[in-house]
Chain A
Amino acid sequence: MTPDQLFQLFIAGLTIGSIYALIALGFVVIHNVTGVINLAQGEFAMLGALIAITLTSETPLFNRAFTVSWNLPLVVGIVLATLLVMGVGALVYLIVIRAARTDSVIIQIIITIGIAIALRGIALIIWGTDPYRLPEFSEGPPIHIGGAVLTRQDLWVIGSALALFILLYLFFQRTFIGASLRACSVNRTAARLMGINVPHMMLLAFVLSAGIGALAGIVIAPKTFMGYDTGTYLGLKGFVAAIVIGGLSDERGAIIGGLLLGILEILAAGLISSGYKDAIAFLVLVVVLLVQTTGILRRGTRREAAGV
């Protein structure tokens, strides 16, 4: 491998890792505020992309029972699709999760698995098995940086991930609602006692995560295309990325985890073996976990021993 090729791999890892990071961020926001591990997060990404595609280009629906051709401008389509998926996130919370909010973690996980299965099935009925393509956000030839090539969409992916991270950071740190959300993640009871409407915050967390997921699906769709089952794949990777560094409760951990997973996968495929790519990535992650958790455990035990 020449340095140019290595750089090429690094950029590819960064691109795909940005998507994992965005999905992981969705997991963390919901988990922090509500305590729920939402395994339907990948389905939000799938829905976002497929709705955006439907709004902006001619798309046959329901096994070709009818075809829609609204052909909205791309920007309008993206905004509408994101809002619609946010609506789906709100419905998921209001109809199902709210009723189950006192249940144990594992029960909530199973509920979100059920939601994911149902959403995937509905998408299969509406859009069929064909993958769809969203046009690239900006047309133009690929860009050469050193010996590496990247498409304009790659820049969009990395750029929009970065922009979302910054916006979310500002939202959580600088706004009153953001602070209320953070309060819920630190201590829900205390937050309620401070007059924060916790159920509203939970609803907001679901809406926000659905939006982040939808955007992730939309920006990646021109590059990877989107089918009814792509969400499962993205959800799984995002789930791993969310846990591995930050343990599902740290936004920065989710971002680092996503980028790490993306880069590891690509490097493993390029340098070692494409057949064992995922295995190598997981092996490294588990070793990271073991090294790291031993540290946390030690700290935890000491704290417990000290009576804290």
Chain B
Amino acid sequence: MERTTVSASHDTASATTLAPARQIKLLARHPNLIAFAILVGVLALLPLILKNNYQISVLNFIGLNTILTVGLALLMGYAGQVSLGQAVFYGLGGYGAGILAQRAGIPPFAAIVGAAVITGLIALLLGIPLLRLRGHFLAVATLGLNVIFLLIATNETDLTGGPNGLSMPTDLSLGNFVFDTDFEFYILIWLVTLAILALSLNIVNSRIGRAFRAIHSSEIAAETLGVNTARLKLQVLVLSAVYASVAGSLYAYWIGIVSPSDFSISFSIELVVMVAIGGLASVWGAIFGAAVVTLLIELLRNFLPQLLRGASGEQQIVAFGILLVLIMVLMPEGLTTGTWKYIRKWRDQKKVSNSK
């Protein structure tokens, strides 16, 4: 994995030293690079346009959800494993960092790394038996995992703070710098998100990524070609768990408190919805799905009461449900591919009508 990151920076480095014409050609051959550059640009500009910390916070949630969905997209789209318990790893990151900082008194960033390592190990230990299950069976087993995690978080009050949650013992600090405002967390969360996006794009485009896709289309065929499917699936699970853990730790330090309701089964399902809306098997789809679902909920909150007098929470969930069905019926490949398809269709139709 380390090797792939190095090669990524090598790519960018060589791109900048090339002559402009070749550079453009190179970029055209690397759509990921262009998309990445656009994303960085947008992220740099957005805080200038946004008016307040609420809007920044929405972006922070999109960032956290992106970290979660990228991992889940790798697991679902490439390794073909449906997990209805991704919130468990998110929760392990949140609770893990809090408990480590509280009990062992280690500095926040060490606690985040520690929680990620522990979560990775737990994912490894759980993955060995669970990944022998397939399809629906795995879905139910991961769902059960989520139930068990929530009960531990609720019942083991001495360790987890119980149903009222665990307050983080300190603010997030690095040396003398204390992450305090929503904007500071915006920068931190999105730096981590970008790093994870870059890492994931590299994995997908590497030999490992091709092996993943081979598993997804046919596990048996991949096996015969000498791919160790069991090991690869386990690696993806651990990777997605580590992603989720980091997101959970960042969430915990940002909000200051974690409680069982943050890691519910409905949140696990919401994550699967985000991945599906973005389009399975697509790292870019993951960020798209996370953004669309998070924004949809906030837009309904902001604008539905203006469209419908007296509309409140009840109407918002009905609208959300129906919009979800609409998106999925109209764009079953996910929004990214779906939108392209519609644009292409519209263009073709225009061409046809022009030629007439």
Contact = CB atoms under 8 A, between A and B. Distances in A.
The answer to A–B direct touch (Cβ < 8 A) is yes
B332 A100 contact: yes
A103 B155 CA distance: 41
Nearest to A244: B140
B134 interface: yes
Contacts of A114: 321-325, 328
A120 interface: yes
Interface string B120-162: 0000000001101110110111011101100110110000000
Contacts of B323: 114
Interface in B257-294: 265, 269, 272-273, 276-277, 280
A262 to B, nearest CB: 16
A103 B327 CA distance: 13
B328 A104 contact: no
Contacts of A107: 276, 328, 332
Contacts of A72: none
Interface stretch (A140-148, A171-179, A211-219, A286-294): A286-294
A181 interface: no
Nearest to B144: A282
B318 interface: yes
B160 to A, nearest CB: 13
B318 A283 contact: no
Nearest to A228: B314
Contacts of A276: 151, 155
A66 B254 CA distance: 46
Nearest to B320: A117
Contact of B139 (A243, A279, A285): A243
B144 A117 contact: no
Interface residues of B, number: 43
B151 A117 contact: no
A283 B318 CA distance: 35
A20 to B, nearest CB: 13
Contact of A117 (B82, B139, B317): B317
A37 interface: yes
A106 B321 contact: no
A282 B130 CA distance: 13
Contacts of A119: 321
Contacts of B144: 240, 282-283, 285-286
A240 B139 CA distance: 9
Interface string B73-94: 0001000001000000000000
A122 B318 contact: yes
Interface residues of A, number: 44
B21 interface: no
A275 B160 CA distance: 15
Contacts of B152: 279
Contacts of B8: none
Contacts of B19: none
Contacts of B328: 100, 103, 107, 110-111, 114
B318 A290 contact: no
A279 B147 CA distance: 6
Nearest to A105: B135
B329 interface: yes
B324 A110 contact: yes
B133 A290 contact: yes
A236 interface: yes
A22 interface: no
B314 A124 contact: yes
A284 to B, nearest CB: 10
B220 interface: yes
B309 to A, nearest CB: 14
A103 B318 CA distance: 23
Given A110-B273, A110-B328, A114-B324, A289 B147 contact: no
Contact of A293 (B132, B317, B325): B132
A236 B325 contact: no
A112 to B, nearest CB: 9
A115 B269 CA distance: 14
A106 B77 CA distance: 10
B141 A121 contact: no
A236 B265 contact: yes
A118 interface: yes
Contacts of A275: 151, 154-155
18 contacts: A106-B76, A109-B272, A111-B324, A115-B321, A115-B325, A116-B321, A117-B317, A118-B322, A122-B318, A125-B318, A240-B140, A243-B136, A247-B136, A275-B154, A275-B155, A279-B152, A283-B144, A289-B141
- In the A-B complex, list the 8 residue pairs whose CB atoms are closest, starting with the nearest: A118-B321, A117-B321, A114-B324, A282-B144, A121-B318, A114-B325, A121-B317, A103-B332
Interface of B: 76, 82, 129-130, 132-134, 136-137, 139-141, 143-145, 147-148, 151-152, 154-155, 220, 265, 269, 272-273, 276-277, 280, 314-318, 320-325, 328-329, 332
Interface of A: 37, 96, 99-100, 103-104, 106-107, 109-111, 113-122, 124-125, 236, 239-240, 243-244, 247-248, 275-276, 278-279, 282-283, 285-286, 289-290, 293-294, 297, 304
Given A125-B315, A247-B136, A294-B132, 20 more contacts: A100-B332, A106-B76, A110-B273, A110-B277, A114-B323, A114-B324, A114-B325, A114-B328, A116-B321, A118-B325, A121-B318, A239-B140, A243-B139, A247-B137, A275-B155, A278-B147, A279-B152, A283-B144, A286-B144, A297-B132
